Amino acid sequence: MVTSNKYHFFLHGLRDGLPIGFGYFAVAFSLGFVAMKAGLTPIQGYIASFLNHASAGENALYTSIQSAATYAEIAIITLIVNARYLLMSCSLSQRFDPNQPFYNRLLVGFGITDEIFGIAIAQEGYLSPQYVYGAMLSSIPLWSLGTYFGVLAGNLLPDNLVSALSVALYGMFVAIIIPPAKKDKVIAGAVVTSFILSYACSWIPYIKECTTGTKTILLTILIAAVAAILKPIKEEANSNDADS
């Protein structure tokens, strides 16, 4: 009976993850062009996507590689950009049956993305690891394949067409930041400030000599810290979000 329930949850996750996977393929295809410009082969792009399930994280990874960043810079910037998944994993761990073995928590944490977290946290009762495994199996391979074929296409298509198609990735990031910026003035201020400071770093003495990875790390920590100090999220808001 328990095995039957696990099979049911797995198929449910497989079904819910498939539409997410198709969306991932389109986004990752654009990321493949960035990976290609960074000098990655299709199989390297596939592996990078399989291990790093985040568009912003992958973009930071590929652009860091392209700018010849050090291993330490790449590791730090990828950690910072993907830090939200630590919080998501901790949140999901509270939804597991207390008797769940540690390896299930570890594997589920590895496969967390924004979308998988969204469908998983919406499940009623204790969260079944098999549900998340099903969603991971039907979505993450498509994400990796999208990057693979993006790199492959980038190597075959003319440079001007690749540049034109690469605009889709910037459009995706605009679509990510504009809606929350319209709702929250603090986020809007942080976005505008990041644009201004990023430009300023290109001509400020000493700072302009730093690598792109170092600039991104410093700006991310600085802007996030200042926003958190000046405009912290109220505890009441957190409590309401947890109850809803």
Are 31 and 55 spatial neighbours (Cβ–Cβ below 8 Å)?
A: yes
Examine the fold and report which residue of 170, 194, 228 is the final residue of a domain before the chain moves on: 170
Examine the fold and report which residue of 170, 201, 236 is the final residue of a domain before the chain moves on: 170
- At 123 the pLDDT is 84
23 plus 124 within the same structural domain? yes
151 plus 238 within the same structural domain? no
Find the radius of gyration of the CA atoms of the chain: 20
Examine the fold and report which residue of 170, 198, 217 is the final residue of a domain before the chain moves on: 170
| Tens-digit pLDDT string for the chain (244 aa) | 445 588 889 999 999 999 888 888 888 888 888 899 899 999 999 999 999 888 888 888 898 888 888 888 888 888 888 887 887 888 888 888 888 888 888 888 888 888 888 888 888 888 899 999 999 999 999 999 999 999 998 888 776 666 666 566 566 567 667 777 888 888 888 888 888 988 888 888 877 777 666 777 778 788 878 888 887 766 544 444 444 4
List Cα–Cα distances, 56 to 75, 128, 172, in angstroms.
14, 28, 10
Judge whether 115 lies within some domain.
Answer: yes
Nearest-angstrom CA–CA distance, 153 and 147: 10
Judge whether 46 lies within some domain.
Answer: yes
Nearest-angstrom CA–CA distance, 80 and 198: 17
Are 77 and 216 spatial neighbours (Cβ–Cβ below 8 Å)?
A: yes
Nearest-angstrom CA–CA distance, 31 and 153: 11
Residue type, 190: A
Judge whether 43 lies within some domain.
Answer: yes
pLDDT tens digit sequence for 73-120: 888 888 888 887 887 888 888 888 888 888 888 888 888 888 888 888
164 plus 194 within the same structural domain? no
Considering only CA atoms, which of 83, 92, 42 is closest in space to residue 60? 83
- Please report how many Cα atoms fall inside a 13 Å half-sphere around the Cα of residue 58, on the Cβ side: 31
Across the chain, which distance is largest between two alpha carbons, in Å? 68
Judge whether 35 lies within some domain.
Answer: yes
Judge whether 201 lies within some domain.
Answer: yes
Reported pTM: 0.69
Are 31 and 169 spatial neighbours (Cβ–Cβ below 8 Å)?
A: yes
117 plus 15 within the same structural domain? yes
User: How many structural domains are present in the chain?
Assistant: 2
146 plus 201 within the same structural domain? no
List Cα–Cα distances, 27 to 40, 147, 192, in angstroms.
17, 8, 24
Nearest-angstrom CA–CA distance, 113 and 111: 6
159 plus 202 within the same structural domain? no
158 plus 193 within the same structural domain? no
Q: Which domain holds residue 218?
A: 184-244
102 plus 157 within the same structural domain? yes
Residue with tokens 């201020």: 189
The token duo for 112 is: 């967390």
198 plus 124 within the same structural domain? no
